[in-house]
């Protein structure tokens, strides 16, 4: 049976939830590293790259709990260099020059003229100013863990957004520009307004979650029997809140859930069984 694994966007909290959910799946007897396709977006891209390189969820979970990094370095066969890449120093964000106005004028104008063709996140991302924080620590970390080419023996894809057009780019797929895996994962994590875009060959790339919180639908046509999708940016049932922040969060999480359900239904209509795992409000 051919299986696919999709790891959606969700920031730091979402990454913690993803690792916990993957560890739970492992405890139930399924090794997520055995998936024939692994698709990662934003935080899910980092975790997906580690899975594709053979790092088990238990090691990621142990690190989050303050455990030793020796196991991670050993599993990835990278020696002390990989462990050093996970020290707090690796996460020191590097400032770049700020910009004023929309980070992508073309995307901003496009979403203003045709808002119904874009997700709420894409509409917002075009109008936000360009981020001032460098993704270099993310790229460096992934490159140390997975030096050279992409993970062997696994089809790993990571999704980013073309900052000019708003179009989706699936790095690792045959029709995408060739980027080192570190740069591709960093591009998938480049949240507009926070991180600076990743530039390559005259193009700028930002967070793949701007196109879709999960990008589940990129697996259409991949002839998979089962797809397991973990999506931390949506919830099955959204709890009502009274504060303005709660209303905004509910709007985006509801939009994410609806898009996820549409993408899942499209795969199901072509004979693929899809299992959706989403956190409850209490989980977050």
59-109 pLDDT per residue, tens:
888 877 776 555 554 444 554 455 454 444 444 444 555 566 666 656 666
Q: Does residue 197 lie within any of the structural domains?
A: yes
Contact 119, 258 (CB under 8 A): no
| Distance (Å, whole) CA 42 – CA 38 | 13
Q: Mean pLDDT throughout 110-124?
A: 66
Q: Does residue 120 lie within any of the structural domains?
A: no
Q: For residue 117, what pLDDT is reported? A: 66
Of 22-36, 147-161, 179-193, the one with minimum mean pLDDT is: 147-161
| Distance (Å, whole) CA 137 – CA 83 | 14
133 DSSP 8-state letter: B
Token pair 């959910």: residue: 21
The residue among 36, 282, 271 whose CA lies nearest residue 155 is 36
Query: pLDDT tens across 238-268, in order?
Result: 666 667 766 667 777 888 899 999 999 999 9
pLDDT band at 124 (very low <50, low <70, confident <90, very high): low
Q: Please, which residues have CB within 8 angstroms of residue 182's CB and are 6 or more apart in sequence?
A: 138, 139, 140, 141, 142, 143, 146
SS3 165: coil
Q: For residue 81, what pLDDT is reported? A: 52
Q: Does residue 111 lie within any of the structural domains?
A: no
For 45, the domain range is 3-97+128-283
Looking from the CA of 84 toward its CB, the CA atoms found within 13 Å total 7
Query: pLDDT tens across 161-194, in order?
Result: 998 888 899 999 988 888 999 999 999 999 988 8
Q: Does residue 117 lie within any of the structural domains?
A: no
Q: For residue 28, what pLDDT is reported? A: 94
Q: Does residue 112 lie within any of the structural domains?
A: no
Q: For residue 276, what pLDDT is reported? A: 96
Q: Does residue 108 lie within any of the structural domains?
A: no
The residue among 38, 39, 37, 48 whose CA lies nearest residue 15 is 48
How many separate domains does the chain show?
Answer: 1
Q: Does residue 106 lie within any of the structural domains?
A: no
At 245, which helix (H) or strand (E)? helix 244-268
Q: Give long-range contacts, CB 8 A cutoff, 24+ apart: 197-201.
A: 197/103, 197/130, 197/131, 197/163, 198/135, 198/139, 198/160, 201/177
Q: Does residue 115 lie within any of the structural domains?
A: no
| Distance (Å, whole) CA 202 – CA 132 | 19
- Relative to beta strand 155-162, strand 198-200 is unpaired
Contact 207, 190 (CB under 8 A): yes
State both tokens at 172: 């690792």
Q: Provide the CATH number for the domain around residue 84.
A: 3.40.1090.10
């Amino acid at each position: 049976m051919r299986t696919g694994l999709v790891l959606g966007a969700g920031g730091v909290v979402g990454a913690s939830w993803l690792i916990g959910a993957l560890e739970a799946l492992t405890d139930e007897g399924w090794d997520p590293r055995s998936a024939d396709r692994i698709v990662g977006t934003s935080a899910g891209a980092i975790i997906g790259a580690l899975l594709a390189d053979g790092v088990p969820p238990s090691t990621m979970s142990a690190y989050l709990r303050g455990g030793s990094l020796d196991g991670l370095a050993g599993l990835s066969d990278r020696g002390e260099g990989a462990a050093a890449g996970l020290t707090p120093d690796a996460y020191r964000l590097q400032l770049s020059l700020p910009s004023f106005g929309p980070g992508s004028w073309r995307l901003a104008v496009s979403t203003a003229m045709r808002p119904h063709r874009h997700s709420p996140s894409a509409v917002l991302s075009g109008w936000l100013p360009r981020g001032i924080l460098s993704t270099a620590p993310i790229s460096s970390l992934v490159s140390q863990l997975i030096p050279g080419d992409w993970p062997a023996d696994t089809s790993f894809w990571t999704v980013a957004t073309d900052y000019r057009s708003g179009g989706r780019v699936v790095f690792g797929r045959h029709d995408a520009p060739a980027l080192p895996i570190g740069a591709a994962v960093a591009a998938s994590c480049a949240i507009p307004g926070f991180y600076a875009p990743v530039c390559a060959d005259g193009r700028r790339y930002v967070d793949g979650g701007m196109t879709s919180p999960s990008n589940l639908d990129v697996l259409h046509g991949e002839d998979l029997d089962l797809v397991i999708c973990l999506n931390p940016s949506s919830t099955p049932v959204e709890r009502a809140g009274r504060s303005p922040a709660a209303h905004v969060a509910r709007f985006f999480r509801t939009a994410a859930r609806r898009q996820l359900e549409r993408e899942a239904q499209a795969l199901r209509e072509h004979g693929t069984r899809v299992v959706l795992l989403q956190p409850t409000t209490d989980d977050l």
